[in-house]
Amino acid sequence: MNLEIKKLIEYPKKGVLSKVIEKTKKADITLFCMAEGTEISEHTSTRQGIIYVIEGNGIFHLEGKDIKMEEGRLILMKENAVHSLKAEKNTAFLLILN
């Protein structure tokens, strides 16, 4: 597979648009596009994850700590880690769960 991820970015007027890029036995890769001002409330995942911020600006709240979401940022998340997100500007990121 060979994709130009930036060409897949599409922001909704409100909320979140997600696109599954790849789903295998070992990993799921999803592109998330969050409209400015959108929040995803606190939740957990049963799998460990990697978040790669493609563009935008926001806050990733992970286990009590705020991490700035900005272009090129890589965030590592353990399974069952409590987290939430807020897009301060339109923000796109890849979520890889394994």
Is residue 1 included in any domain, yes or no?
no
Confirm whether 6 is domain-assigned: no
pLDDT in tens, 13-46: 999 999 999 999 889 999 999 999 999 999 999 9
* CATH code for the domain in which residue 34 is found: 2.60.120.10
Structure tokens, 25: 């036995």
Note the pLDDT tens digit of each residue in 39-78. Answer: 999 999 999 999 999 999 999 999 999 999 999 999 999 9
Task: Encode burial over 2-35: b for 16+ CB neighbours within 10 A, e otherwise.
Answer: eeeeeeebebeeeebeeeebeeeeeebbbbbbbb
Closest CA to 44 of 9, 79, 90: 79
Closest CA relative to residue 87, chosen from 3, 12, 6, 2: 12
| pLDDT above 80: residue 1 | no
Per-residue confidence at 91, pLDDT binned at 50, 70, 90? very high
Tokens 């007027």 found at = 13
Structural domain count, the chain: 1
pLDDT score, position 3: 85
Whether 32 is in a domain gets the answer yes
Domain range enclosing 41: 14-97
